[in-house]
Structure 1
Amino acid sequence: MELSLAWRLFKRELHQGQLLLIILAITLAVLSVTGLASVSERLQLAINGQASTFIAADRIIDSPAKIDPQILTLADKLGLARVGSMQFNSMVYAGDAFQLVTVRAVEQGYPLKGDIELSGGKAQGLPLADNIWFETRLGGLLGYPEQIELGNANFNLSKEIIRLPDAGFNPFASSPVVLMRIEDVAKTQVIQPGSRVTYRYQFTGNSRQLSAFEQQAKPLLNTSQRWVDVQSGDSPIAAAVQRAERFLLLASLLGIALACAAIGIAAQRYCQRHYDVVAMLKTFGASAKQIRVLFGTHLLLVTTVGVLLGLLGGFALDRGITAFLPIEIAAYTPPIGRPIMLGIATGFISAFMFSAYPLMRLLAIPPLRVLQRQLEGLQLGMWLHLILSLGAMALLGYLYSQSLALTLTVVAAVLLLGALLSVLGFFMIRLGHSVGMKTTNPLQLALAGLRRRAKQNAVQLVGFSSALVLLLTILALRQDLLQEWQKQLPENSPNYFLVNIAPEETQIISDFLAPHLKTSPIIYPVVRGRLTEINGEELISNAQKQEGSEGRVGISRELNLTYQASLPPNNEILEGEFNQDTLDVSVESGVAERLGVSIGDSLTYTIDNQPLTVKVTSIRAVHWETLQPNFFMIFTKEALAPFAYTSMSSFHLADSQRGLILDLIKQFPTVSIIDVGAMVSQLRQIIDQVSLSLTLVLILVLLASALVMIAQTEAGMATRQRELAVLRTFGASGWLLRAATGLEFALLGTIAGILAVIVAEFTLYLLKTQVFELNVYMHWPWWGIAPLCGGLIVALLGIWRCRQLLNKSCGELLKGH
């Protein structure tokens, strides 16, 4: 009986259009989440796919010995493509000349991603047997011989390498690289028991295969083996990729919050429209159980329709946007299971948890309401509504992002918005109380309308403010991220590095380059040293710590130290003052935190078997993602003057000036020249792709926010129609009503804009400090622009939605009512 009645009620209200608002809200919620999830996952796959060319694979395992064959068998079972390689140092000889080189011995199929760039173009395959491809600078160091001797074998120097896709970026790696087939290593007899060799295993596959491989392979690795992906820090694009992924996750999380707000508002309106229905059903003898089944079934049917429409709309949105994406992004196909499950979960969890309290109020409507329509039943329990609503939002947010920091930030923003709405928003709306019911001008009538609909307007402010907070937050973060990446790679980023410059060559090279460069390059002296003591306490290595030794853990390798008279570019002093006295040192913030070093501590280094004790006088933030020389420790010239050093520098050359590099190689054969131009170009392509992704997400958020605002103006149309009918009856003119309606919505939008700025600034502070690691600053122009834009946008939406009511005559309004 109840199910049959619920179905008839559903069909009748669906036909009459009374379910439009709640179905639209649920559809919007599911569409936003499903569409954003699909687009975001496609963009994430594309960004990671493009960035993975920096490591020539999707995943890498580095090991000092051959890995467990079980891991390779697992990769084969999962269908991953894989190649292995070996890397070791060795001397090569050409006549009387010799040079230390880094040997890369690779299997057939290398590289899995990206290309080997040779002087004659992109490589096709690998070197032939008994052939070696060599880095350009090796030819200059050895005098361009036709053959070299490596171990007990001779090899032809056949082709020059411009860049390997997984070469990484290490200007301190002074050994030229040579590439050979892995099967040729045995004939050299260089690898003997105890030889230092790095074994590298590279894998590619789809996201499902890689996820399964990571879950099963990682536990099989030992402490000396390393798992590498594009976010592990080895890639120069790692920070950009991580921030872009967090941004996409945040956009979807805010989309979820926006959708939840829309559903909560729609559920409240749905229940309010049925107060009279419940009162009549109780008057006619319906039991509480019958009414619960009736409206529970009704809500289930409404939610199901909304979810289905939302899923269809979400995938239509994904397909529509994909059609406008570049081919290299559209080629990636994310799995559809997760967006579907997330969309369904969003629809049902938010619909039922946000509807719980309004339904409780609906079911508690007394039968006496048929005589006294002001009765609304349950008035308590708002705390339960708050807990259920926040719980639903937090659950959906965490299910989507798997990020506690992002989820808590969104929840904190919602709590602040709720607090402001209950205090500031209600207070500002109540300002209209003193005006009473005067209707002598549009402003007085608008303020009176705000007072009469104080509760309803407070609910509307939730939707308007949420949409504006979302827009401001996404807009600000997108702009900050783009500016950060543009700073990382400005137009004249260095594309060449000079390493191993002898002291006597420093001035000669500087004079040689000066006529060809716009600005003189900074020369960085490089001294090798090991940190041995902090405040007189001797440091131990990680290995010693694991063996049970007690003491403070230091850095178990030699550091590249430098001196500078002034703070280098891309460095920022966080604490203290940069090197004032002879024995001052400036320490990079990450190393300072890791070592527990602070201002005033003394550090002792061993350089050329001699101790050097200095005092920490400043802590620096360093932008490591920039392709420029950066150092953990910067000393004064006087402190490092007694020690031997070489120098390094970087500069930018236009393509038309590349001939200058050949002159450099000929005149300074001992100087290592590193060409990072191809890497810079590839980085720019990825950052352009990321920028496009952020723009697309911003457009999606704009559309979602606009839909929520449109849906929000739907609330209260029946009440407004009754008021317009009464005002028309008492002679109010059409101009007065249109102006008053526009002003009322404009005031709502202005208040929403003020609330949105406060919440957005708070949200951005949390996001920048806890998630994105960006500089925090106030957006002062927002305090004027957001209220003005909020007032204008909401006024236009309100007038557009009420245009039919405002154009009706008194008789038409009364008939419609």
Structure 2
Amino acid sequence: MEWQLAWRLFKRELVQGQLLLIVLAITLAVLSVSGLARVSERLQVAINGEAATFIAADRIINSPVELDPQVLAIADETGLQRVTNMQFNSMVYAGDKFQLVTIKAVADGYPLKGKVELSTGETSSLPQTGEAWYENRLGGLLGYPSSIELGNSELSLTAEISRLPDGGFNPFASAPVLLMRLDDVAATGIIQPGSRVSYIYQFVGEASALAEFEAQAKPLLNNSQRWVDVQSGDSPIASAVKRAERFLLLASLLGIALACAAIGIAAQRYCQRHYDVVAMLKTFGASAKQIRLLFGLHLLLVTLFGIALGLIGGVLLDLAINQYLPAEIAAYSPPYFRPIMLGVATGLISAFMFSAYPLMRLLAIPPLRVLQRQLEGLQLGMWLHLLLSLGAMALLGYLYSRSIQLTMTVVLTVMLLGVLLSLLGFFMIRMGHSVGMKTTNPLQLALAGLRRRARQNAVQLVGFSSALVLLLTILALRQDLLNEWQKQLPENAPNYFLVNIAPEDASPLQQFLESNRIQATDIYPVIRGRLTHINDEELISGEQERAGVEGRVGISRELNLTYRDTLPPNNPITLGTFNQADDEVSIESGVAERLGLALNDTLTFNIDNQSITVKMTSVRQVQWETLQPNFFMIFRPKALEGFNYTSMASFHLNDAKLKAAGSELTANAVVLQLIQQFPTISVIDVGAMVEQLRQIIDQVSLSLTLVLALVLLASALVLIAQTEAGMATRQRELAVLRTFGASGWLLRSATGLEFALLGAISGLLAVIVAEFALYMLKTQVFELVVYMHWPWWAIAPLSGALVVAVLGMWRCRQLLNQSCSELLKAG
């Protein structure tokens, strides 16, 4: 019986349009979550997939010994494709010349992602047996021989390497690379028991298979074996990928918050419309159980209908957006399962938890309401509504992002938003009390309307401001991220590095660069040293700590140190000062935090078997992604000037820049001249890497723009839903004012001003909360520079007034055009 009544009620109200708001809200919720989830996952997979070309695989295990066969068996069982490579250093000989090189011995299948770039272009092949490919600088150092001796073998040099996909970026690793086949290593006789070798195991596969492999394989690795992916810090794009993923997750979380707001508004409006229905049913003898079952089934049908429409909309949204994506991104297609499940869970959880309190009020309506319509039954329990709403938002946020940090940041911001906007909004509306009782002009009538509906308008302020806060937050973060990446990779980012510059070559090199109109960075001296003591406490290595030795853990390798009178660009000081004394050192913030350093701590270094002690006087923030020469430790000149050193520098060079400077040479010709004139200087070409970085940043930029567009759409729908929520009360008031002779011009002007005032107040309050939210997100999540957005303080109130006024007038257009009798009949 109840099923039949619920079905009839559902069909009747669906046809009459009374369910439009709640169905639209649930559809919006599910569409936002499923659509955003699908688009975000596609973008995340694409960004990671493109960035994975920097390591030539999706995952890497780097090991000093051969990997346990059990780990490889797990990879095979999960359906991953894999390849095994080796890397080690050795000397090669060509006649009477010799050179230390980095041997990269690869097997068939390498590289699993990306391409090997030769001087003749990209290739899918590898050196043949008995052959090797070499970097250009190795050829210059050895005089471009046709073959070289490696251990017991002689290898023919058959191709010149421009770039390896997993070549990485380390200007201090000055040994040039020699690429050979893994099968040829045994014949060289170089690898003996105890040899220092890195075994590099590369894997590619579906995201689910990679996750399963990671869960099973990682616990089997020992402390000397490293798990590497594009976010491990080994890739120069790691920071950009992490920030982009956080932004996509945050945008989707804010989409969930918008959807939940729409559900709450719609549920409240739905229940208010049925107060009289419940009172009549109780008057006619319906039991409380029957009414609960009836409206519970009705709400379930509405929810399922909204979920179905939302899922269809989410799929269509993904298909539509996919048509405009670059082919590199559109080629990635993550499974639909998770977005669909998230959409269903969002519809069910939000519909229940955001509707619980309004439904409780609905079911508590007394039968006497049929005579006294002001009766509303349950008035207490708002704390339960807030608790259920926040619980639903936190649950859905964590299900989506699987990040407690992001979820709690959003929930705490929403809590602050609700409290602050409710208090300030109600207070500012109450300020209109003294003038609100006069209705001789549109402004006074608008203020009177704000005063009469103080509680309802305070709720509307929360809805309007929530949408504006989310828009401002997403817009600011997107712009800040893009600006940050643009600063890291400007058009003139260095594409060549010069290392191993001998002191006697520094001046001639500077003259060569100036004569060829090449603008280079400063020439930085580089000295190798090891940190041995902090505050006279001897440091131990990580291996010693794992072996049970007690002590303070230091850095288990030599560091590249430099000295300067002033700090280099892109090295802002976050703590302390520099250039105050000769025995001071400036430390990079990450290293300072890792070592637990404080200002004025003393550090002792061992350099060329000599000890020097300096005092840490400043901490710097270093942007490693800028591809500029950067250092962990920067000393004052007098502290290191007595030690032997080589130098390094970097510059940007291309054919267009040379032509603009009046040179007839190409960039390759200039670089070749540099190599010939300075054969001991190693030239590292990172131009291809810079271009690939820039392409990925462009794709990330597009991703952020698409997600921003989706959040804009969701925000607009929430604003419409919030405006719709007050239509019934406004209709009755318009009928009364028409009865007392108010003109159409007066009512239209007053209504427009009322909505404009609400929008202006919402904009002002939104700026306050958005600034707080951005401070939290930039300091706790994105690690961005915090600053005030002063233009917002004027733009947001004006924009809020305009947008809310337009939406309000558009929604009220029919009511404002109706006559007094039509309004009374409709009411």
Q: In the alignment, does 2:466 pair up with 1:458?
A: no
Tell whether the 8 Å contact from 1:87 to 1:197 is kept in structure 2 after alignment.
yes
Are 2:422 and 2:459, in contact at CA under 8 Å, matched by a contact in 1?
A: no
- C-alpha separation in 2, matches of 1:381 and 1:486: 51
Work out the CA distance in 2 between the residues paired with 1:635 and 1:736. Answer: 74
Deviations 1:310-344 (A, max 9, x none): 11111111111111111111111011011011111
What secondary structure sits across from 2:618 in the alignment?
A: strand
Q: In the alignment, which residue of structure 1 is the partner of 2:539?
A: 539
Choose from 674, 688, 691 the match for 1:678.
688
Tell me which moved more, 276-285 or 244-253. 276-285
Give 2:738's aligned amino acid. Answer: R
Aligned-pair CA distance for 1:437: 4.3
Q: Are the equivalent residues in 2 in contact too, given 1:34–1:339 (CA < 8 A)?
A: yes
Residues in 2 aligned to 1:223 and 1:594: alpha-carbon distance in whole angstroms: 18
SS at 1:379's partner residue?
coil
Q: Distance in 2 between matches of 1:111 and 1:469?
A: 46
Given the alignment of the two structures, is residue 735 of structure 1 paired with residue 745 of structure 2, yes or no? yes
Question: Which residue of structure 1 aligns with residue 209 of structure 2?
Answer: 209
Kindly indicate whether residue 807 of structure 2 is the aligned counterpart of residue 814 of structure 1: no
Other structure's SS at 1:571 match: coil
How many angstroms apart in 2 are the aligned matches of 1:182 and 1:436? 86
2:717 counterpart of 1:701? no
Partner of residue 486, structure 2? 486
| Contact 2:519–2:652, Cα closer than 8 Å, also in 1 | no
**Using the alignment, how far apart are the partners of 2:639 and 2:728 within structure 1?**
81
Aligned to 1:70: 70
Q: Which amino acid aligns with 1:642?
A: G
- Paired letter, 1:707: L
Contact 2:759 2:805 in 1 (8 A): yes
- 1:811 & 1:518 partners in 2: Cα distance? 83
Residue of structure 1 equivalent to 2:783: 773
Amino acid at match of 2:773: T
Q: Confirm whether residue 227 of structure 1 aligns to residue 227 of structure 2.
A: yes
- Provide, for residues 17-42 of structure 1, a one-character-per-residue CA deviation record: whole Å limited to 9, x for no partner: 11111111111111111110010000
Q: Which residue of 2 aligns with 1:46?
A: 46
User: Contact 1:441–1:736 at 8 Å: present in 2 too?
Assistant: yes
Deviations 1:215-266 (A, max 9, x none): 1111221111111000000000000000000000000000001111111111
The one-letter amino acid of 1:433's match is H
Partner of 1:125: 125
Say which SS state the counterpart of residue 622 (structure 1) adopts: coil
In the alignment, the residues of structure 2 paired with residue 746 and residue 472 of structure 1 have an alpha-carbon distance, to the nearest angstrom, of: 19
CA distance in 1, matches of 2:430, 2:315: 44
Which region of structure 1 is more displaced relative to structure 2, 379-388 or 519-528?
519-528
* Superposition deviation, residue 101 in structure 1: 0.5
Identity %: 76
Unaligned runs of 5+ in 2: 656-665
Answer yes or no: is the 8 Å Cα contact 1:84–1:106 preserved in 2: yes
Preserved CA contact (<8 Å) 1:261 1:462: no
Equivalent residue of 2:255, what SS?
helix
Distance 1:745 1:518, change over 3 A: farther
Among 659, 665, 668, which residue is 1:658 paired with? 668
Query: What secondary structure, in the 3-state scheme, does the structure 1 residue paired with 2:257 have?
Result: helix
Structure 1 stretch 277-286 or stretch 671-680: which is displaced more? 277-286
Matched residue, 2:731 = 721
- Output the amino acid matched with 1:69: P
Instruction: Give the whole-Å Cα distance in 2 for the aligned partners of 1:63 and 1:657.
Output: 39
Contact 1:135–1:177 at 8 Å: present in 2 too? yes
Within 2, Cα distance between the matches of 1:229 and 1:664? 36
Distance 2:516 2:685 in 1: 17
Q: Secondary structure at the match of 1:134?
A: strand
Tell me how far apart the structure 2 counterparts of residues 516 and 794 of structure 1 sit (CA, whole Å).
Answer: 60
What per-residue deviation string (whole Å, max 9, x for no partner) do you get for residues 25-82 of structure 1?
1111111111100100000011001000000010101001110112222222222111
Q: Is the CA contact 1:115–1:123 (under 8 Å) kept in the aligned structure 2?
A: yes
Q: Hey, what does 2:430 align to over in structure 1?
A: 430
In the alignment, which residue of structure 1 is the partner of 2:565? 565
- Contact 2:232–2:238 (CA under 8 A) maintained in structure 1: yes
Aligned to 1:648: 648
**What letter is aligned with 1:697?**
V
How far apart are the structure 2 equivalents of 1:625 and 1:446?
A: 54
Deviation at 1:648, TM superposition (A): 0.5
Task: Find 1:804's aligned residue among 814, 817, 821.
Answer: 814
Displacement of 1:13:
1.3
- Per the alignment, residue 756 of structure 1 pairs with 766
Kept in 1: contact 2:518–2:653 (CA 8 A):
no
Please give the residue correspondences for 1:147-162 in structure 2 after superposition, counting only pairs within 5 Å. Answer: 147-162=147-162
The alignment's TM-score, normalised by the length of structure 1, stands at 0.99
Specify the SS of the correspondent of 2:626.
Answer: coil
The answer (yes or no) to whether the contact 1:50–1:686 under 8 Å persists in 2 is yes
Q: Which amino acid aligns with 1:796?
A: V
Counterpart position of 1:505: 505
State the distance in 2 between where 1:210 and 1:618 align. Answer: 42
CA distance in 2, matches of 1:630, 1:520: 15
Q: Is the 8 A contact 1:135 1:162 kept in 2?
A: yes
SS at match of 1:260: helix
Shift of residue 518, structure 1, vs aligned partner: 5.4
Residues 317-716 of structure 1: pairs in structure 2 closer than 5 A: 317-517=317-517, 519-655=519-655, 656-716=666-726
Question: What residue in structure 1 maps to residue 755 of structure 2?
Answer: 745
Q: Is the 8 A contact 1:109 1:125 kept in 2?
A: no
Structure 1 residues 239-388: aligned runs within 5 Å? 239-388=239-388
Whether the 8 Å contact between 1:738 and 1:806 is mirrored in structure 2 is: yes
Kept in 2: contact 1:579–1:635 (CA 8 A): no
1:159 partner amino acid: A
1:717-757 CA-partner distances (Å, limit 9, x unpaired): 22222222222222211111111111111111111111211
The Cα shift of 1:439 comes to 2.4
Moved more, 711-720 or 300-309: 711-720
Distance, in Å, in 1 between the alignment partners of 2:234 and 2:788 is 34
Mapped partners of 1:11, 1:653: distance in 2: 70
Task: Decide which moves more: 368-377 or 425-434.
Answer: 425-434
Pairwise CA distance, 1:520: 4.5
Q: Is the 8 A contact 1:116 1:122 kept in 2?
A: yes
Partner AA of 1:492 in structure 2: N
- Greater shift, 500-509 or 706-715, is seen at 706-715
Alpha-carbon distance, 1:436 to partner: 4.3
Instruction: Single out whichever of 361-370 and 249-258 deviates more from structure 2.
Output: 361-370
Structure 1 residue runs of 5 or longer lacking an equivalent are: none
161-170 or 803-812, which moves further after superposition?
A: 803-812
Say which is worse superposed, 785-794 or 572-581, in terms of deviation. Answer: 572-581
Contact 2:233 2:239 in 1 (8 A): yes
Q: Could you tell me how far 1:760 is from its partner in structure 2?
A: 0.8
| One-letter amino acid matched to 1:666 | Q
Of 707-716 and 477-486, more deviation after overlay is shown by 707-716
1:176-195 CA distance string (max 9 Å, x none): 10000100111101101110
- CA deviation map 1:593-644 (0-9, x unaligned): 1111111111111111011111111111111111111111111111111111
Letter in 2 for 1:468: L
- Across the aligned residues of Structure 1 and Structure 2, the Cα RMSD in angstroms comes to 1.1
Contact kept? 1:151, 1:189, Cα under 8 Å: yes
Aligned equivalents of 2:685, 2:224: Cα separation in 1? 31
SS of equivalent residue, structure 1 residue 338: helix
CA distance in 2, matches of 1:150, 1:614: 44
Q: Once the two structures are superposed, what CA deviation does each residue of 1:114-170 show, in whole Å capped at 9, x if it has no partner?
A: 111111111230011111000100011111111100000001111111110000000
